[in-house]
Amino acid sequence: MPLQTTTIKIDTELKENALRLFSDLGMDMETAVTVFLRQAVREQAIPFRVGNPIPNRETLEAMREVELMKKEPQSYRSYTDVDMMVEELLA
């Protein structure tokens, strides 16, 4: 199959980091991009999850608790001394 040159613009630091990674994996940028494109075509999709991660139940509960703490700080214990906090947690 004939090869075609494609030009893309990439942030310099991102490119350098990617080149180091690909080199550690034993490939160059061209090979890495080809692997990505072949996998995308094979799967008919981006070959990794793209989007915002969905937090699990425990994380969602913690996020709600933080929002409550912000709205009603007087309802929660605060500490100015880490040792005191740890002592109380262990009690």
50 within a domain of the structure (yes/no): no
Number of domains composing the chain: 1
43 within a domain of the structure (yes/no): no
Phi and psi angles of residue 65, each rounded to the nearest 5 degrees, phi first: -65, -40
**pLDDT value at position 8?**
95
Residue 26, Ramachandran bin (φ over 0: left; ψ between -120 and 50: alpha; else beta)? left
* Regions of the chain with pLDDT less than 70: none
Q: Which residues constitute the domain of residue 61? A: 57-90
Residues 37 and 47: their CA atoms lie apart, in Å, by 9
Half-sphere exposure of 90 (CA within 13 A, CB side): 6
Residues 31 and 72: their CA atoms lie apart, in Å, by 55
34 within a domain of the structure (yes/no): no
CB 40 within 8 A of CB 47: yes
Q: What pTM value is reported for the model?
A: 0.56
